Amino acid sequence: MKHLLIAAIISLATAASQAAPTPTTASSASMIVDTAFVQEALKRGVIVWDTRSADDYKKGHIPGAVNIGEIGKTLRHDSDEDYIPLAEMEKILGAAGINPAKEIVVYGEKGNPFVYFGLTTVQYLGGKQGRIYHGGIDDWKAAGHGLSTEPTQLAPVALQLKRPEAGVTIATSEVIKSVKGKKVQIVDVRTPGEYSGEDIRAIRGGHIPGAVNIPFEQNWADPETPAKLAKKQVSNKDGLALKSRDELQKLYANLDPNKETIVYCQSGVRASETAAVMKDLGFKKVRIYDSSWLGYGNTLDAPADNVTFFNVGALNGRLAGMQKRIDALEKQLAETKAPVTGSK
């Protein structure tokens, strides 16, 4: 009997191990994936969306990736930086064969938050299988994989996009109600200067009452990497990789993963990265305030902290001073070009 019991236990253990999924480089539940996942996804025919400009795409892209131009300029209005109408999005995405209902991996340059805006767009349009390749074209090249300069054209699809997914974004009116109800936690991912009201990028500066300031760059291994690249202190973008999971959990340790979370920035782009990171960490209800401070700061009756106002008089004074300097330079330039009289 004892031997039969042991045999049964071994049999059950063997069956369980055979039934268990084989570990991969990126969890099937994870939205943020790595190079190995992208390679495997391409073999499966997954849509890979290059969110960079058409020029960058032509210079070299992941083989098989499609492109509709720079996402921030193609799918948003220049004036208010909100999405273009759904009918226009249907035409643009449909012509490129980008169907939000399918599994999609978005990528661009490493550390560019507009790539996360691409993921948000997939989710905003009802997609449930969106992934993001954070390392993007930089990690792909660093791994020694080749690039293609030939454009990829998928079969066009006739899209009938539904209304925006309610659980992905939140409107200004809802944010104001949430602030007054004090039932949500709010994360402001802008710079400390924007948060404090010193850097004004709307009619008003300041922040939403109760918002916690965690700049989105803090998700990176080295938030100072862009400045170091500009000063040529580093030669690669390794510092733009995401922090380890443990480090990210510490970064958001003071927030409740079970509480509704609103994430915002200036126009919803930087917020897209933090929202994806928080969702990957297990935060259950995270919504992006798409209009962000551009919408909130210009809504003058919306409650705000550290309020400052755009000083039009000071700006006009600076502009007048700049114009004088330009006039003086143009005069000097004209004098240097004037023909010298009396010479032979």
Nearest-angstrom CA–CA distance, 194 and 264: 12
Average pLDDT over residues 329-338: 74
Question: Domain holding 288: CATH number?
Answer: 3.40.250.10
Average pLDDT, the chain: 87
- pLDDT recorded at residue 5: 39
Specify whether 175 is located in the same domain as 266: yes
Is residue 210 a contact partner of residue 230, using CB atoms and an 8 Å limit?
A: no
Specify whether 130 is located in the same domain as 205: no
Specify whether 180 is located in the same domain as 115: no
- pLDDT recorded at residue 106: 98
Specify whether 71 is located in the same domain as 202: no
Specify whether 175 is located in the same domain as 296: yes
Residue 295 lies in a domain: yes
- Final residue of a structural domain among 91, 126, 142: 142
Residue 332 lies in a domain: no
Closest by CA position to 104, among listed 140, 77, 139, 128: 128
Specify whether 132 is located in the same domain as 175: no
Residue 47 contacts by C-beta under 8 Å, 6 or more apart in sequence? 66, 97, 98, 99, 102, 103, 104, 105, 154
Please report which confidence band the pLDDT of residue 16 belongs to, taking 50, 70 and 90 as the band edges: very low
Nearest-angstrom CA–CA distance, 105 and 98: 11
3 has a pLDDT exceeding 50: no
Residue 116 lies in a domain: yes
Grouping H, G, I as helix, E, B as strand and the rest as coil, residue 187 is: strand
| Cα separations in angstroms, 64 against 45, 121, 147, 149 | 9, 20, 10, 10
Residue 162 lies in a domain: no
Specify whether 110 is located in the same domain as 231: no
- Final residue of a structural domain among 123, 142, 161: 142
Query: The pTM is what?
Result: 0.81
- Final residue of a structural domain among 126, 142, 158: 142
Interval 272-308: pLDDT, tens: 999 999 999 999 999 999 999 999 999 999 999 999 9
By residue range, what is the domain housing residue 134? 25-142
Closest by CA position to 47, among listed 68, 27, 26, 74: 68
Grouping H, G, I as helix, E, B as strand and the rest as coil, residue 49 is: strand
245 has a pLDDT exceeding 80: yes
Cβ atoms < 10 Å from Cβ of 70: 18
Is residue 267 a contact partner of residue 294, using CB atoms and an 8 Å limit?
A: yes
Specify whether 115 is located in the same domain as 247: no
312 has a pLDDT exceeding 70: no
Residue 320 lies in a domain: no
Nearest-angstrom CA–CA distance, 18 and 34: 26
Residue 296 lies in a domain: yes
210: tokens are: 């109760």
Three-class secondary structure assignment of 123-145: HHCCCCCEEEECCHHHHHHHCCC
Residue 80 lies in a domain: yes
Specify whether 199 is located in the same domain as 93: no
169 has a pLDDT exceeding 60: yes
Nearest-angstrom CA–CA distance, 316 and 149: 47
Could you give the count of Cα atoms lying within 13 Å of 312 in the half-sphere of its Cβ?
A: 3
Average pLDDT over residues 315-341: 70
Specify whether 251 is located in the same domain as 299: yes
Is residue 305 a contact partner of residue 196, using CB atoms and an 8 Å limit?
A: no
Specify whether 114 is located in the same domain as 194: no
Please give the order of strands across the beta sheet that includes 286-289. 169-170, 286-289, 261-264, 185-188, 212-213
Residue 161 lies in a domain: no
Specify whether 181 is located in the same domain as 110: no
Most confident stretch, 73-77, 246-250, 336-340:
246-250
How many structural domains is the chain composed of? 2
Q: Name the residue with higher pLDDT: 182 or 308.
A: 308
